[in-house]
Structure 1
Amino acid sequence: MEAKSSVLLVLSLCSVLFTFGGLASQASHNGKWKLLKKSIGISAMHMALLPNDKVIVFDRTDAGPSNLTLPQKRCGKDEICYAHSVEFNPGNRNFRPLTISTDTWCSSGALSRNGELIQTGGYGLGERVVRHFKPCVNCDWKEDQNGLNVPRWYASNQVLPDGRVVIVGGRFQFNYEFVPKSKIYSLPFLEETRYSAFVPNNLYPFVHLAPNGNLFIFANDRAILLDYVNNVVVKRFPVLPGGVSRNYPSTGSSALLPISLVGQKSSGTNFPAEAEVLVCGGTVADANVKTDAGVFVPASKTCGRLIITSKHPRWEVEEMPINRVMGDMIMLPTGDVLIINGAAKGTAGWGVAREPVLNPVLYKPWNKKPSRFEVLTPTTIPRLYHSTAHLLSDGRVLVGGSNPNANYNFTALYPTELSLEAFSPPYLNPLSKSRPVISSVKPGLELRYVQKFYVGFRLNYETDKIYVTMVAPSFTTHSFAMNQRLLVLDMGHVRKSKKPAGSKYNHYYTVESYAPARPELAPPGYYLLFVVCDGVPSRGMWVRI
């Protein structure tokens, strides 16, 4: 009965996506790269998109001089101050320097329910700091020097149903805590999954919020389901086969695959959503140690998929077309996963990777094996250790960073990279049908759980292949997009409207949609709302639950 239920839920999701055109065939187009800025003055180690469509980018503050100075008024009279953070505007490609005084090296973050970036931990004097950045004109960082109970270096964050942020792990921290600060809770699982005391392969654990409100936590090659409220491990999942470590410095990546809410309107808050996690890439546990002898072990091609809501979960293993370590996995508005950046040999760390992987790969979750992967157009810029990627509201993916050097070094084998690029996925093929354009969200952009609302959009051709998605903005660093989440919304009627006089669009539609039923499915905060027609998404519109 359990297996049958899971199959029906998967088929339900597939039916929506194929019926409404989520993975419909498109003209042959493998994506396009565009250089946005040759230099923003800093290397993009961390990246977050705010609800004002600005991207906050920052590096570590102990890397020596960057290529960007702060205004004189922020420094001493005779002092030269170097910026290690910028606010970047993808719309006009302008950027401005920001001020961080404590070290953000290998830190973590998430967006609050109010759209404020909450940024936690780091190195040295930054290891217990909680930083805040509000999406407003000329705002700058504010830093709480004692925001955490213990040092957090290489930790992971996740927004919770009550709006708090949980911070899990960090180097020599086998525990978790919250922002706002409260008590600390032991998590022995993080100590159990170390490879060794000196080279742990469980840093930046993959943390995903399950539909029942518990936390899926993956470290090294295994995972648990944690009831963080009662500090109880409620499930231990099977080991991911293959003998590969997936977390830093073996550094694979992970994504929570799209959660289908189709059928929610009939069951309301009791809707039994299914959730599936994808883990890809990484390398063997001792690969980092072997680089000391000049041996660069090939990265893994393997991916594992696990239905974490199943009573009897089993990993489904498949192979990517390219070996990859340090790859970023970014959810696209269509529900596909973009795997981008990284190397084919070695591990994360300074100077310990070889053979940059220049080709992104598209992963189509609802296709059958072996047709889930598609190799896309390569970049010309290697993106290795300390590179990042992030979905933008226009459907492109912003890519930056790469600094596998202890300081800024422009003559190394793989030099420090200060540029930002945008990758346009295949759905932005200029030769394909036009994109839908959202014209209205009624009754408004502030949504309530289970609320019925209406999305108006226009299109220059007729279609019945329509669906609506919501994407939570992530905080991306070290090949993990924290808090990333995509929901396929339940829909009602789709109505055609009369074309207004003089409009260049021939067809107008209104689609009846339903907001997620409860905060365990979608924690409170900002989301990008997309309409997808024939596999092509609109530009995203910010809504708030």
Structure 2
Amino acid sequence: MAEQRSVSLLMAICLCFYFAQGNQAYEGKWKLLKKSIGISAMHMALLPNNKVIMFDRSNFGPSNISLPQRKCQKGILLSTDCYAHSVEFDPSNRNVRPLTILTDTWCSSGALSQDGVLIQSGGSGAGERVVRYFKPCVECDWAEDPNGLNVPRWYASNQILPNGKTIVVGGRFQFSYEFIPKTSPSDQILYQLPFLRETRHSAMIPNNFYPFVHLSPDGNLFIFANDRAILLDYIKNKVIRKFPVMPGGVSRNYPSTGSSVLLPLNLSGKSNAGFPEAEVLVCGGTLPDSNAKAAMGVFIPASKSCGRLRFTAENPTWEMEEMPRKRVMGDMILLPTGDVLIINGAAKGTAGWNMASEPVLHPVVYRPWRNNAKADRFDILSPADIPRLYHSTAHLLSDGRVLVGGSNPNWNYNFSTVHPTELSVEAFYPPYLSPTKSRPLISWIKPGVELGYKQKINVGFKSKKRPGKVYLTMVSPSFTTHSFAMNQRLLVLDAGPVVESENSAGSNFVVEGFAPATPELAPAGYYLLFVVGDDVPSRGTWVRIK
């Protein structure tokens, strides 16, 4: 009898282990894509050709990748060496192509233009007033305008506007904004923004770095800095609304570095004002004096708190929640399902060289539309093996994976410290990519991938079974650096019911949808279109709103 009980107990233990392992598969997985791309990916942007542009700074010291000999002529680079500090990475075959940047891009900003050109602005030293352009093509390289900005911009934020321009907000010693490219007289004007001066961390830090900037559905800008936010009419240079202070006394912007997203815009629903309600989510960060203490070797625990604000409401108030993990320097990435992935970062300290400790290896996913208890909106996912601290990045890929790279909490490349410079890139597979789940496959889009505002489209897709819930999402490609994905945006399209198809293309199902109605909802340019069936997204198809 005792032997039988022992066997039963052993079987129970094995079954528990089996189910634990099985459940773990549903929490996502990690895959190393490239042990070294030659640089540390401080900045990251996805282009419509599905290649990713990454770069760090031009004075980081010798990198692990060289430029072609023809680009190493004396006098072209700031130094006389031949090391590259920018690369083009192809996730499909893991090829790396070195690129040439002449001026320092350290802690700069960027956005993707409506023509699919990466517009990148500012930096340090000789790069602080430079605007750079990268056009996706086989042999293309960076082009640089040394006087593209009115004033130096270091640690600024960018956002694409309804008129196709890019607004550049803030930066070191800059309490102002301006527009690029400079194609009209109004683009030459420097617009003051006292809000950035008023919301500094403290007198010890006379700046306001990387404010969170989101385009509101009414065309104005929601701007958040540390614990306060405004709605700005950037055309009239007028603050039209001030929002309540976010509770908790936590600073959220660099170097206290939390993160922020504009939650998915549901285009089938409208507020009394005639456009969809809009909410922001701000998570993580730390106390205002944490940076000063970290400089003395004292690492204060980061915050677990998140604040959610429906800023289009008549009387908006912050709804506070808590993440399962304390986190500073976490990246918040919108997934095609409308969920939010929070990844990378540390549990103590702040942003800066050797200013943080206790890497947070577990990503979490936040499901904003769960109606149950707030704590249940978060799920803890599979941990990474590689710590991603200061100067790490993350970006959604068209196939639904999340590319993760970077981490250099050191002055220069240093591979022998406790937290060394990280040159690798890896992919995180969210739980919806479990092999046990049926995934839709887009077959065709009619009338095509060139869209007009309000245009009706039909999307044909294959699926092993008829999904119970189907919706269409469009995701804008972002520019990610320092825990903020600039220009990140997800639209849940107004869509009709799913019907079975007998189309000659062989698609099983068709769903009808409508493109966004206005450039305030979706500035012209490139987006990834996904069919989501039972919370599992298809691969994204590039579409362009013109």
Q: TM-score, normalised by structure 1?
A: 0.92
* Matching residue's letter, 2:255: P
1:515 paired with 2:515, answer yes
Look up the match of 1:164: 165
Look up the match of 2:10: none
Shift of 1:80: 3.7
CA contact (8 A) 2:170 2:196 kept: yes
Q: After superposition, give the CA deviation of every residue in 1:9-62 in whole Å (9 maximum; x if it has no partner).
A: xxxxxxxxxxxxxxxxx9971000000000000000000000000000000111
- Give 1:200-239 correspondences, 5 Å limit: 200=206, 202-239=208-245
CA contact (8 A) 1:31 1:429 kept: yes
1:261 paired with 2:296, answer no
Look up the match of 2:322: 319
Look up the match of 1:479: 483
Mean alpha-carbon deviation: is it higher for 458-467 or for 149-158? 458-467
Look up the match of 2:175: 174
* Matching residue's letter, 2:87: V
CA contact (8 A) 1:201 1:245 kept: no
CA contact (8 A) 2:173 2:207 kept: no
CA contact (8 A) 1:306 1:313 kept: yes
Q: After superposition, give the CA deviation of every residue in 1:176-229 in whole Å (9 maximum; x if it has no partner).
A: 000023111000000001123542573100000000000000001100000001
Distance 2:273 2:197 in 1: 36
* Matching residue's letter, 2:107: C
Partner-residue secondary structure (3-state), 2:126: helix
Distance 1:499 1:163 in 2: 37
* Matching residue's letter, 2:327: R
CA contact (8 A) 2:173 2:206 kept: no
Number of residue pairs the alignment of both structures matches: 512
1:48 paired with 2:51, answer no
Q: After superposition, give the CA deviation of every residue in 1:461-497 in whole Å (9 maximum; x if it has no partner).
A: 1223100000000000000000000000001242201
1:469 paired with 2:473, answer yes
Distance 2:31 2:207 in 1: 35
Give the one of 32, 36, 39 matched to 1:35: 32
Look up the match of 2:139: 138
* Matching residue's letter, 1:413: V
Distance 1:324 1:200 in 2: 24
CA contact (8 A) 1:201 1:285 kept: no
Look up the match of 1:3: none
CA contact (8 A) 1:201 1:247 kept: no
Look up the match of 1:374: 379
1:421 paired with 2:418, answer no
- Give 1:55-454 correspondences, 5 Å limit: 55-76=52-73, 80-181=81-182, 182=187, 183-200=189-206, 202-263=208-269, 271-367=274-370, 368=372, 369-432=374-437, 434-454=438-458
Distance 1:188 1:525 in 2: 31
Partner-residue secondary structure (3-state), 2:450: coil
* Cα pair distance change 1:447/1:348, threshold 3 Å: same
Shift of 1:336: 0.2
Shift of 1:263: 4.7
Q: After superposition, give the CA deviation of every residue in 1:70-125 in whole Å (9 maximum; x if it has no partner).
A: 11111138964110000000011101000000000000000000010000000000
Distance 2:162 2:59 in 1: 35
CA contact (8 A) 2:362 2:382 kept: yes
CA contact (8 A) 2:172 2:207 kept: no
Distance 1:66 1:238 in 2: 46
CA radius of gyration, larger in: 2
Q: After superposition, give the CA deviation of every residue in 1:335-391 in whole Å (9 maximum; x if it has no partner).
A: 000000000000000001000000000000011312100000000100000000000
Distance 1:439 1:508 in 2: 9
Distance 1:41 1:405 in 2: 16
Partner-residue secondary structure (3-state), 1:191: helix
* Matching residue's letter, 2:199: T
Distance 1:464 1:536 in 2: 11
Distance 1:70 1:201 in 2: 36
Partner-residue secondary structure (3-state), 2:451: coil
Shift of 1:412: 1.3
Shift of 1:293: 2.1
Distance 2:474 2:73 in 1: 46
Distance 1:130 1:272 in 2: 34
CA contact (8 A) 1:175 1:188 kept: yes
Shift of 1:326: 0.1
CA contact (8 A) 2:56 2:106 kept: yes
Distance 1:297 1:148 in 2: 37
Look up the match of 2:498: 494
Partner-residue secondary structure (3-state), 1:189: helix
CA contact (8 A) 1:201 1:249 kept: no
Structure 2, unpaired ranges of 5+: 1-22
* Matching residue's letter, 1:372: R
Partner-residue secondary structure (3-state), 1:463: coil
* Cα pair distance change 1:263/1:316, threshold 3 Å: closer
* Cα pair distance change 1:197/1:65, threshold 3 Å: farther
CA contact (8 A) 1:271 1:517 kept: no
- Cα RMSD of the aligned pairs, angstroms, is 1.7
Distance 1:541 1:211 in 2: 24
CA contact (8 A) 2:344 2:363 kept: yes
Distance 2:414 2:421 in 1: 5
* Matching residue's letter, 2:259: S
* Cα pair distance change 1:346/1:77, threshold 3 Å: closer
* Matching residue's letter, 2:68: P
Distance 1:189 1:356 in 2: 33
Shift of 1:135: 1.1
Structure 1, unpaired ranges of 5+: 1-25
CA contact (8 A) 2:41 2:393 kept: yes
Shift of 1:294: 1.4
CA contact (8 A) 2:171 2:207 kept: no
Distance 2:445 2:428 in 1: 28
* Matching residue's letter, 1:136: C
Distance 1:178 1:67 in 2: 35
CA contact (8 A) 1:530 1:538 kept: yes
CA contact (8 A) 2:269 2:276 kept: no
CA contact (8 A) 1:153 1:171 kept: yes
Shift of 1:327: 0.1
CA contact (8 A) 1:324 1:342 kept: yes
Distance 2:57 2:484 in 1: 17
Identity %: 71
Partner-residue secondary structure (3-state), 1:532: strand
